[in-house]
Amino acid sequence: MSDRTTIDRIAELAAGHDRSGAFPAQSLRIAHEAGLLTATIGERYGGKGARVEESARILHTLGRGDPSVALIAAMTLNTHARQAVQPHWPDEVYARLVKESFERPVLINHARVEPELGSPARGGLPATLARRTPDGWSLSGTKRFVTGAEGLDWFLVWATTDESEPRVGTFLVPGGSPGIEVTGRWDQLGLRASGSHDVTFREVRVPYEHVIGIGPHGPAAEQDNRAGAALHLPLAALYLGVARAAQAFFHTFAHERVPANLGHPVARTERFRRTAGEIEVLLAGAEQLVFGGAARLDAEDTSYTPEQALGARVLADRHGVRAVELAVRLLGNPGLARGNPLERHFRDIQCAPVHAPQEDISLLAIGTKALNP
């Protein structure tokens, strides 16, 4: 199956999923059939071992078809990519995960954001509590914005232990475990089918060995806002895919729209050609930053800094949002009509700057580095 066929099939389902907000199980099966959900499984585990640039291109392609599907896929791809670079899962658990992943879509995501804490990117200790039991842990707490929640096979839950000297860690929780409940429905402007619901864990049992990265709370235990380039760049690529889909509709409209008083397609007018040029410059420039940066990461170019990756994502998000805005503005009312793909792309692209670390945090890290090289 070609990527083009794969994305065509996913794109055909996207509008329906957007309207209903239903979990896009069929689209994820299509992505799995094409090998897109397992691409980053490391070669040592029998996988392809796709790295950052290929991950970015996969998400760019999926983003053109349905960014909700792409975002769910991104979390799974990133989990496998991290394991390939630095193994940290229990060997037996990960071996079983890989075996199942080649057989069917197996979805994984972190559960980190909390109602009181907000995003861990801004620091703080999770309120989700892991209590020691004779055979492991009992996990209780609520997480927000857990993308793909209804279809996850594994929740990677960030929690604090109830020990006299509390530690924090990530607890590996199978999706079918008793005590897991979706307690807040995702009902947002964009990425409506991403299923980024609130999830509550009520005394969920976790085996003792199903914990990774556990240790004292402190800067090293919190999300590192300067790192994570291997996820920041692919996420930026995902939303550039949304912008490319908007651009494609803009081009189609421009060639098909023939006003009676004009007598030829608006694509031939100076106004449309100039805007088309500006959109292409915005997107092509952003893609060069994102894919070029990803290639440098893959090449282990030590001169490419985390701040450069953060900067690439800031600019890519800005350019993507601006490009779609230009297309909508030029089309006027048709561009905001429900049922029009451009209206959906406009809503979806608004989610680009929301992902942690948000722009202000990124600019703070970039500026701090610039002032203290």
Phi-psi region of 118 (alpha: psi -120 to 50; beta: other; left: phi over 0): left
Collect the ranges in the chain with pLDDT lower than 70. 1-4, 118-123, 217-227
Res 225: pLDDT? 45
Give the CA dihedral 78, 153, 67, 44, nearest 10 degrees. Answer: 30
Of 241, 245, 197, which is closest to residue 344 (Cα–Cα)? 245
Q: What is the pLDDT of residue 218?
A: 52
* Interatomic CA distance for residues 265 and 256, integer angstroms: 6
CB 210 within 8 A of CB 155: no
pLDDT at 220: 43
d(CA 283, CA 345): 15
Amino acid 116: pLDDT: 85
Q: By C-alpha distance, which of 331, 164, 153 is closest to 252?
A: 331
pLDDT one-digit tens code per residue, 240-280? 999 999 999 999 999 999 998 999 999 999 999 999 999 99
Task: Bin 7: left if φ > 0, else alpha if -120 < ψ < 50, else beta.
Answer: alpha
- Residue 80's pLDDT is what? 97
**pTM given for the model:** 0.94
